[in-house]
Structure 1
Amino acid sequence: MPCPHFDIKIVQRSNRQSAVASAAYQSGERLFSEYDQKQKYYSHKSEIVHTEILLPPHAPPDYADRNTLWNAAEAAEKQWNSQLARRFIIAIPRELPPEQYAVLIRDYCREQFVSKGMIADFAIHDKGTGNPHAHILLTMRALDESGRWLPKSRKVYDLDGNGERIRLPSGRWKSHKEDTVDWNDQKNGKLWRQGWQDTANRYLDAAGRPERLDLRSYEEQGLDKIPTVHMGPAVSQMERRGVETNVGNLNRDIRTANGLMQSIRQMVRGLKGWLSGLKEKQAALLEVWGQAKEPTLPELLSRYMDLRSGERADWTSRGKLKGAVNDFNKVREALDFLREKGISTVGSLDAYLDEVSGKVVSIRADVRKTERRIQIIDTALSHIGNYDAHREVYKEYASIGWKKKKEKFADAHREELDAYLAAVRYFKAHEKEQPFDRKKLDAERRALSGELPVRNGELKTVQADVKILRDVRNWINHVLPPEQRRATAEPGRKPSVREDLSWKADGVTRQEKQRQKERQNPPPRTGKEPDMEH
């Protein structure tokens, strides 16, 4: 069960963010920020079903108060670009009963964070629309045994080969900084995701649910699939109402491509296994057929037609004609396809399947490239839209000369200003990569969106071709002896009920005929066998 939304971000002062504001948003409480002397409050309390703060043993009890905790955490940070808190947003499996949500998050936070010395402030949001999720806010500094904030890093002097300090030309000692804790190590992101997967799956198992989370990427899972694009709550709500969106259409095209590619790969894998079995048993097959040369695929299909004709010996004339015409039409279509593709032998069929696999890989690369470019364009268009929509608000903000009036205006228009400034930062960071022309980007996106259905059409054509080859395999299997049918079956695939019954019936019939023959023509006695009559 994919549960991909697992987002980790840092609350940074350089981005005009506040740990107190983040705590106020996720908890629904009114908090006062001592840093900027402003009250923080967001009116969406109806969706907040649980809030809680988890303290390690050496944390001051006062930090169980949300306002005290986050003002203290911010007061310890003196720099303009300080990292104030680590923020998680995690989707909770809706297969679990709601009363388990808080227990699950509490268990996860204690195991992954509080046991390492972090303070965890979490809240569970659930509007009842099938999207329960948790917000977790973590402290960035460790606490000493008396509950005081420790430095994030310490100075370490570099030493030479003799263990002596190294003096620089300036007269200072060469040194570097080392983190006092490893909480910022990049490897933690993967460990925390794995920890959430394991914890959630443990609760799903305890609840008797068969679903399981897998937060690994498709690449980590060894799956040759193209990931879909995260839609976000606004787009998800529109899609649920039946309103088609660009992101929704993109994901539908990606899912179609993934389904087609998976179908083709499975059929090619099965055909490859079947061909491998034919090659291994080639000598035995030639002996059974009484041939010195490998028969061509058209010759084998001709034998299939003869076999089918013999099976209809006791049918009515009308039934024979109808069956013969039906078989002829199907086999003729396959023969036309084999002739068109230049496939006449087992070897040429093997080579064609390699060609099919290469084509699927090429189409997948094209789809992946198109999907990535569309995501880049969508991000750019979103920033262009925010820039245009909120430019006048920013101009009005910039024109205000009085400090208090300016701060009051910023509080009233925080979302608009943040979106506008984020757009400005994005344009500066990517100005050399692409032009920010809405018309050109819209036109490019329409063209790219039109390419995905074309690629899916190509995959459907390949799928139809491979299905014909799968039919050819099934027809040829009819002319193989039963033991050879078993030997050339797809590796790892159980025979169908029809195949299994057919093989068993053929085997019993042949064994019974052999016993009847022996009873009718007993072998002559040699004088060495014991006399069983006495």
Structure 2
Amino acid sequence: MALYHFHVSQVSRGKGQSCLASDAYITGTRLIDDYYGDVHDYTKKQGVLFTELLLPDYAPERLHDREVLFNELEVIEKHPKAQLCYSFDFSLQNELSYEENLEIAQKFIKENFLSKGMIVDYAIHNPDKHGGIPNPHVHMLIPIRPLNEDGTWGEKQKREYLIDENGERIKKPNGKYDFKSVPTTDWGDPETLDAWRKAYADIFNKAFEEKGLDCKIDHRSYSAQGLELLPTIHEGPQVRAMEAKGIKTEIGDENRRIKAFNEMIKKLSTNLIDIFEWLSNFIKECHKQKIYVPSLGELVSDYYDKRYINAWSNKAKVKNLKERAAVIFFLSQNNISTFEELKDFVHASYGKVNELQEDISEIDKKISKINDAFRYRQMLAETKPIYDKQFSFRLKRNQEKYVAEHRDALDKYHLAKRMLDNYWYGRKPNWEVAKINLSNLEKSKSQKQQLYKDCKVTASEAYKIRKIAEEMIKKPATNIPVHQVTKKRKYELGR
């Protein structure tokens, strides 16, 4: 089945990242990182099928060496939390051959990125999945800082001074002129990203059509397509390693169930769209011919009347009456009296569920960041005595021998120190405040999780009632000619 995947993130020093490390991984090469003094060697990495460094025609010859290019970029970015590169990855399609995928990927990259003056280092990966479904995809690394036509590095943003009604610059209380920072390119605009996502879908859909394949990918989010899908659970390296060896895990099993459910929802979406189109056309036709359209209350009452008549036992009849009362109470409580209002309520309810889900995800990221800081604090405390001891040796050869023997511990010390410097960013560490922030975040997460559960129950109940209404609207249309529905039945919502 055709797969849509197009993702972009940023390589940032604020996250402890290096563009040399990222590029070495992407291209499966060995690069020397002058900024950090590290060597990133991924020459043994499997599954890198093709690499290419693309630069504008006016780029100087020295930048055609990716090691020179990205070391120069590291040097020119001065800020300790500088955003260095855009990191893209997008899937290729198993319905197409390797040669077709390569040709389409190259065309897509040149038309949408190189044409904008962007420097693109990209690679095609197809990792070994131990007999599983192939996963060919493309990684791209693109410097955020533009390259000027004279071969010099440009500015990522410029100052735009604020002016008053007289055209004079506005001064801040400290006497300096007020301004806002404006990007020099549109590369980071949401509109540009959406255009890239659409272009990616369009170019592959065109290839599917030319080959006569009955498949299509959609660049819109599932929410925009009207699909309410469940998120999978983060697996982590240990779970992925166990699953790769054929060892099933609880998380892996749960993700397989979620994926199967989501696939079912996607397949049903086409049928749901047809149903809504039919309902819309039916209602429009009724209005044109001045025909009575049953109200939501009538639809619900008819549904439970039919169930009551067909019930086999008193127990079933009582249960039916309770359900009917609960539905009527739900509609009354939420001021829903028409089918259109019900549809809007369902959409808004699931929108709230998704919003809370995103809020919880953001809180999880903040909690993880603080927990990481405490972990690096512990790592620093454990490795600092080892780091300090290297300076106690009088003879250089003894010191070098000690450093070689304790390389792992010293690397952990430098990593922990760098990550803590990035976390506190020039501020004096205050671990008590960090603990309070962590506690507040966990409380907020707990509250939002409870609200999420409540909203999900409400959305599910509204969706159930909507299905009842859809069923009752469609049945008369399949059995009774439209022109015969002429007499209005007098039903009230509380019947």
Specify if TM > 0.5. yes
Is residue 51 from structure 1 mapped to residue 58 from structure 2 by the alignment?
Answer: no
Deviating more after overlay: 60-69 vs 192-201:
192-201
Q: 1:55 is matched by which residue type in structure 2?
A: L
- Structure 2 CA distance for partners of 1:393 and 1:131, relative to 1, 3 Å: farther
The amino acid across from 2:231 in the alignment is: T
Structure 1, unaligned runs of 5 or more: 285-295, 305-326, 344-349, 486-534
2:124–2:136 contact (8 Å) kept in structure 1: yes
- The whole-number CA distance in structure 1 between the counterparts of 2:54 and 2:141 is 11
Separation in 2 of the partners of 1:328 and 1:181? 67
Equivalences for residues 439-518 of structure 1 within 5 A: 458=461, 462=465, 466=468, 470=471, 474=475, 478=479, 480=480, 484=484
Query: Aligned residue for 1:209?
Result: 213
In 2 relative to 1, CA 398–101 (structure 1 residues): closer, same or farther, beyond 3 Å? farther
Task: Sort the Cα spacing of 1:422 and 1:153 in 2 relative to 1 into closer, same or farther, 3 A.
Answer: closer
Change (3 A) 1:254 1:40: same
Who is 2:7 aligned against? 7
Change (3 A) 1:423 1:385: farther
Normalised by the length of structure 1, the TM-score is 0.60
SS in 1 for 2:46: helix
Shift, 1:417, TM fit: 4.3
Matching residue within 366, 375, 379 for 1:393: 379
Which TM-score applies when normalising by structure 2? 0.64
Q: 1:371 aligns with which of 351, 354, 357?
A: 357
Query: Could you say which residue in structure 2 is the equivalent of 1:248?
Result: 255
Give the conservation status (yes or no) of the 8 Å contact 2:126–2:137.
Answer: yes
Residue deviations 1:13-70, cap 9 Å, x none? 3443222222112112111122233222246511211111012111122322221221
Structure 2 gap ranges (5+): 293-297, 328-335, 392-399, 486-495
Greater mean deviation of Cα atoms: 380-389 or 181-190: 380-389
Letter in 2 for 1:216: R
Partner of 1:21 in structure 2? 21
CA contact (8 A) 1:158 1:174 kept: yes
Contact 1:397 1:409 in 2 (8 A): no
Counterpart position of 1:119: 119
Once the two structures are superposed, the pairs formed by residues 72-87 of structure 1 within 5 Å of their partners are 72-87=72-87
Which entry has the higher C-alpha Rg, 1 or 2?
A: 1
Per-residue deviation, residues 226-282 of structure 1 (Å, max 9, x unmatched): 563585785778778653429738946984996899688976875676577668768
Query: How many angstroms apart in 1 are the aligned matches of 2:287 and 2:353?
Result: 35
* 1:451-498 C-alpha deviation (Å, 9 max, x unpaired): 7996797478547x728x7368637864x468649xxxxxxxxxxxxx
Deviation at 1:131, TM superposition (A): 2.7
Distance 1:164 1:379, change over 3 A: closer
Is the 8 Å Cα contact of residues 84 and 140 (structure 1) preserved in structure 2?
A: yes
* Counterpart mapping for 1:36-435 below 5 A: 36-42=36-42, 45-129=45-129, 130-153=134-157, 179-221=183-225, 223=226, 225=228, 228=231, 242-245=248-251, 248=255, 251=258, 255=262, 341=324, 351=337, 353=339, 357=343, 360-361=346-347, 364=350, 367-368=353-354, 371-372=357-358, 375-376=361-362, 378-379=364-365, 382=368, 386=372, 392-399=378-385, 400-401=387-388, 408-409=407-408, 412-413=411-412, 417=416, 421=420, 435=439
- Name the CA distance, whole Å, in 2 between partners of 1:182 and 1:204: 30
CA contact (8 A) 1:51 1:121 kept: yes
CA distance in 2: counterparts of 1:108 and 1:329, whole angstroms: 61
Residues 157 and 182 in structure 2, CA contact (< 8 A), matched pair in contact too: yes
The 8 Å contact of residues 157 and 175 in structure 1, kept in 2 or not, is answered as yes
- After superposition, the CA RMSD in angstroms is 6.0
Distance 1:155 1:236, change over 3 A: same
One-letter amino acid of the counterpart of residue 245, structure 1: I
Question: Could you say if the C-alpha distance between residues 76 and 389 of structure 1 is closer, same or farther in structure 2, counting changes exceeding 3 Å?
Answer: closer
How far residue 124 of structure 1 moved from its aligned partner, in angstroms, is 1.8
1:493 is matched with none
Number of matched residues?
Answer: 445
| Alpha-carbon separation, structure 2, partners of 1:3 and 1:220 | 17
Paired with 2:192 and 2:277, the residues of 1 have a C-alpha distance of 38
Counterparts of 2:464 and 2:267 in 1: how far apart (Å)?
10
CA distance in 1, matches of 2:174, 2:365: 47
Residues 448 and 134 of structure 1: CA distance in aligned 2, closer, same or farther (over 3 Å) = farther
Task: Identify which range, 107-116 or 386-395, moves more after superposition.
Answer: 386-395
CA contact (8 A) 1:238 1:244 kept: no
